[in-house]
Structure 1
Amino acid sequence: MNALNRAFSTFENFAGWTADIPLRVFLAWEFFESGWEKFNGGNWFGDLQANFPFPFNLLPAQFNWQLSMWVELIAPLLLLLGLGTRLVSMTLIILTVVAIAAVHWPADWSSLAELAKGYAISDQGYGNYKLPLIYLVVLLALLLRGAGRMSVDHWLGQRRAAATAC
């Protein structure tokens, strides 16, 4: 049993340094891919501008397009570095909630059973909020916990602590 405890202790030590990395890489890939598609595509936000929640529904569709595109291109790079992770996570949470409201939430639903049909990857007429919801759960973990030890945030925190200790 002692060997097993040592093995788990070693594993836990390793996880303390690396557990957040797959989350950051996953989100960076997903959001960057979306931003890259916007960068190389046409603005379709004008078609759903009325679906955007306040205050984004008051902004021009071109501004919303540029804002979401640049957030989706820059935030993933910051996530990979672990730089400003909590702020980046909050920004991506807002972006994802707006996307759910404007694009992924079902237009019409009359019961919870009908709403539950939208918990899907592809839209069959009931919305498709499953993947953005997964993003929100992962972003919430990074918002609450931060980037972890293998990050620029951690390195900067150590430098700040060392500077105040002197």
Structure 2
Amino acid sequence: MTHSMASAVKSLHLNLDRAGDWIAPLALRVLLAWEFFESGLEKFNGQNWFADIQNRFPFPFNHVSATLNWELSMWAELVFAITLLIGLGTRFSAFSLIVVTVVATAAVHWPADWHTLSELAQGYAISNKGYGNFKLPLIYLVAFTPLLLSGGGKLSLDALLARFFWRH
């Protein structure tokens, strides 16, 4: 590789890194905010079906009413989707929606009965064919990880507030 080609590749990587600090977290925030806001709206406009699965909720959610679980889930999905979208309290919003996702996975998406890893692997699907369907919640959990660990990125209210308060 010639010196000029190595320099061009290095420059490209540097520019991609710079753009990534702005665009990568924003892309994750927009995607996850859309998904969770849409889910919250479905609950807001729908009927509470949590009573049918209340016994499958993990602790401590199995000790509160289905109505309270419905309200907690709906408002968490609506409010934290908005704060995630604008990048305000990104880590807290991501953590809160991770909790919602883990509870939903345990109560709805995890296979009811499995004995081997190959049986469990059949639940890694979008559609439930009797083995659960935890693929999408797992994708969400993976997508939340960089937001939880690194925050909302440079194009977020968190970054704007940090710049404002560190300057003063």
TM-score (norm: length of structure 1): 0.95
Query: Aligned to 1:140, what secondary structure does the other structure show?
Result: helix
SS of 1:43's equivalent? coil
Q: Return the match for 2:96 from 86, 91, 105.
A: 91
Tell me the residue number matched to 1:49: 54
The Cα shift of 1:4 comes to: 2.9
2:30: which partner in 1? 25
Letter in 2 for 1:74: V
Q: Give 1:121 shift.
A: 0.2
Q: Which residue of 1 aligns with 2:12?
A: 7
**What is the Cα deviation at residue 7 of structure 1?**
2.7
State how far apart, in whole Å, the 2-side matches of 1:23 and 1:60 are.
32
- Whole-Å separation in 2 of the counterparts to 1:85 and 1:41: 28
- 1:59-138, aligned counterparts within 5 Å? 59-138=64-143
Select the residue among 30, 39, 43 that pairs with 1:34: 39
Query: Which of 111, 118, 141 is the matching residue for 2:146?
Result: 141
* Unpaired stretches in structure 2, ≥5 consecutive residues: none
**2:163 corresponds to:** 158
**Of residues 21, 27, 38 in structure 2, which corresponds to 1:16?**
21
Number of residue-to-residue matches in the alignment: 163
What's the CA shift string for 1:34-76, capped at 9, x where partnerless? 1111111100000000000000000000000011001111111
The percentage of counterpart residues that share the same residue type is 56
Query: RMSD value over aligned CA atoms?
Result: 0.9
Point out 4+ residue stretches in structure 1 off by more than 4 angstroms. none
SS at match of 1:107: coil
**Match of 1:123, SS?**
coil
| SS of 2:47 mapped into structure 1 | coil
1:68-111 CA-to-partner distances (Å, cap 9, x unmatched) read 00111111111110000000011011110000000000111111
